[in-house]
Chains A and B, each alone.
Chain A
């Protein structure tokens, strides 16, 4: 909502309201009232039935168009036992009755009378049944019509719902994309400084506090929203995160570096391994590498750096036991799902915040280039403090840093 086109010198509430309404329409689609939905449905159905006219009182019109059912007057006859001998002239009727026994000498009229009587009854029954059926069918027709009417109504409503949901999905997607872009933008303002890893490792707890404060200060400069969203969303992940800087992995095996200069040279020729081959390669500017890719490679290299370097007699386990926190597979394990699953979303922030060996610098500060300076030999010789770090002893526990900034060390 921060992109209103209003001039600073004159606020026009009606204009702002128009913009808000337009935004709502764009965001949620058109909101139909129940009445509008009914009208829409009625119009559609009416068009289906009779496109020439549009009437909203569809059901009433339909009922009016269907006249009330009256069963047709079907021809029938009544046939009783005396029907054959009836006459409007009484003497003739008497004479026929008198001569009936004589007639019965020639043939028996009773079955004929009986059959015709039954037929007459059947005709009546059929007519009644047909009338009932027709009435029921017509009632069902009306029900079907109403049902279809309601179905059209619901279909319209569902269509609108689908449209609204699509709009919301687009909105959420755009928000997600924005967050990803923001995360990448935040990534681009921080760089690794591999040399400082080794230089600053011995006083690590202090440095952790300092970087904690620094990062927290920097984070404090960020907008409220940024803090709220990210810290709330990833707080738990931050607490479990331990920095897996690849440089530490490389630095933790100085003997490997020293033992295989060819490999070191090869690594120097491979830009991917520049961080590992500290001192063998020139400095990288902040824009030269995608930080995420470096982190991934670095982490993968955290466990396999020694193997890559081909350091004989330096197994991975030994690297882990050498006391460097980043070389241990545990942090890598901890961060792996984080990195893989949500690297764009915010994993990099955690890496920046949590890694004590990483310094943050902005692009507009040229005095902070990435300087993969060669670590002092003393540090190579003696593994730094993490062995004494109780957090490190716990393996997956995070190092103190801004990632845990919610728990103030003081």
Chain B
């Protein structure tokens, strides 16, 4: 079996969510099939500047073929077109221009996929929102499998992606919430799909004491791992946590791991350790009482899964449907919707060791059942086997003609997004009708 993995960036030093996801999948599928990665020469997801040489190289035993990006992203043009398609009535032409402005615009990559798609059994396209996935999936026709890595943002409301979701052979979702959202926006229930997600390279054993000694950390602490950014909910986290530690009964400190893009409050109970390697990260999680995940938008929180993998409970932002759904499905974490709930849940996890331990154990079991690598690999292989037996789906409709592209009849993407159902995709919520449109 020969598999192509098509992704916008690829490399061992590239740690973006979807890119890391693609690398892990490529490396694990390489044990079962001949895998080739098709990607661009870019490493920066903002500029898409060609920084790596075009051609073929091998990374961790996987062949990687790179193609040049035709033009870098112009932030002004991209912002202008984003404003148009997200907030105003617009046309399909506007959306296609937005896609070109977003990048990475690599016609060479798409041409290669169109010419050599027949050489592969299946082509896995990562991240539906980018140029390579939109045009590449159309080029690969009946061999395209999409890993959308979709978040709940306005991009999902663009109309050009609805045919994409319906025309691919299969969709590998990260979470039930993502699946529900894509089904609602594109009505692609007929397309074979499965919730897979991704595993993680969890070490067999962790050394929490080593971490404490190395970083001179004493006492119980909660850990946050990830980019320290306002978009990740960190400002709110600092505010809530400083309120929490006003209670004299609280003993927890907050340890932050990751590069910071905002000012961290100077507080004796807040420690920033910067970027740490994987060993330190897992040791920190094992040493921590819990992981806090304050992000509003997550397609699949790998950090939360890693915390569960080492048996630690997670306190997640309940306004992120995916995180809330994961907590409920796993019974491995609590969630908050406001400051009072943050304090209440954190207090519960700190003071009730039994509760924290039970949640951590549930989380570990959830990780083993759903996100361990053998499980992930089996889901992919089963999907390949299923698709091999099924007749290929008809090719996607061609893009609209000159006049149709200029018809200003599409609603703003934000408005489309607002119509989509929200809430965690768990049986209790669906039974109670709490997934709301």
Query: Are A and B bound to each other?
Result: yes
Of all chain A residues, the one with the shortest Cβ separation from B426 is A14
Let me know if A8 and B347 touch, CB within 8 A: no
Partner of B334, one of A20, A224, A225, A228: A20
| Count, A-B residue pairs, CB within 8 A | 57
Of all chain A residues, the one with the shortest Cβ separation from B220 is A224
Let me know if B345 and A20 touch, CB within 8 A: yes
Question: Does B254 have its Cβ within 8 Å of any Cβ on chain A?
Answer: no
1/0 contact trace for B330-350 toward A, CB 8 Å?
A: 011111001011001101100
Q: How far is the CA of A8 from the CA of B353 in the complex (A)?
A: 12
Chain A stretch 224-250: residues in CB contact (< 8 A) with chain B:
224-225, 228-229
Of all chain B residues, the one with the shortest Cβ separation from A9 is B358
Q: How far is the CA of A21 from the CA of B335 in the complex (A)?
A: 11
Question: Does A24 have its Cβ within 8 Å of any Cβ on chain B?
Answer: yes
Let me know if A4 and B334 touch, CB within 8 A: no
1/0 contact trace for A1-36 toward B, CB 8 Å?
A: 110101010111110110011011000100100000
A31-B340 contact in complex given A1-B347, A20-B348, C-beta closer than 8 Å: yes
The interface on chain A, measured as residues whose beta carbon lies within 8 A of the other chain's beta carbons, has a size of 22
Which DSSP category, helix, strand, loop or mixed, fits chain B's interface? helix
Residues of the B chain whose Cβ atoms lie less than 8 Å from the Cβ of A31: 338, 340
Let me know if B341 and A21 touch, CB within 8 A: yes
Let me know if B358 and A24 touch, CB within 8 A: no
Chain B stretch 342-378: residues in CB contact (< 8 A) with chain A:
344-345, 347-348, 351-352, 354-355, 358-359, 362
Question: Does B328 have its Cβ within 8 Å of any Cβ on chain A?
Answer: yes
The interface on chain B, measured as residues whose beta carbon lies within 8 A of the other chain's beta carbons, has a size of 25
Let me know if B334 and A17 touch, CB within 8 A: yes
Partner of A16, one of B338, B340, B355: B355
Of all chain A residues, the one with the shortest Cβ separation from B358 is A11
Residues of the B chain whose Cβ atoms lie less than 8 Å from the Cβ of A11: 331, 355, 358-359, 362
Residue from A2, A11, A28 whose CB has the most chain B CB atoms within 10 Å: A11
Residues of the A chain whose Cβ atoms lie less than 8 Å from the Cβ of B335: 13, 17
Closest beta carbon of chain A to B133's beta carbon, Å? 34
Residues of the B chain whose Cβ atoms lie less than 8 Å from the Cβ of A20: 334, 341, 344-345, 348
Residues of the B chain whose Cβ atoms lie less than 8 Å from the Cβ of A28: 340
Let me know if A12 and B331 touch, CB within 8 A: yes
Q: Residues of A with Cβ closer than 8 Å to B?
A: 1-2, 4, 6, 8, 10-14, 16-17, 20-21, 23-24, 28, 31, 224-225, 228-229
Given A1-B352, A13-B328; 17 other pairs, CB 8 A cutoff: A1-B344, A6-B358, A10-B331, A11-B331, A11-B355, A13-B327, A13-B334, A13-B359, A17-B345, A21-B344, A24-B340, A24-B344, A28-B340, A31-B340, A225-B249, A228-B251, A229-B249
Closest 3 CB pairs of A and B: A1-B348, A20-B344, A11-B358
Q: Residues of B with Cβ closer than 8 Å to A?
A: 248-249, 251, 327-328, 331-335, 338, 340-341, 344-345, 347-348, 351-352, 354-355, 358-359, 362, 428
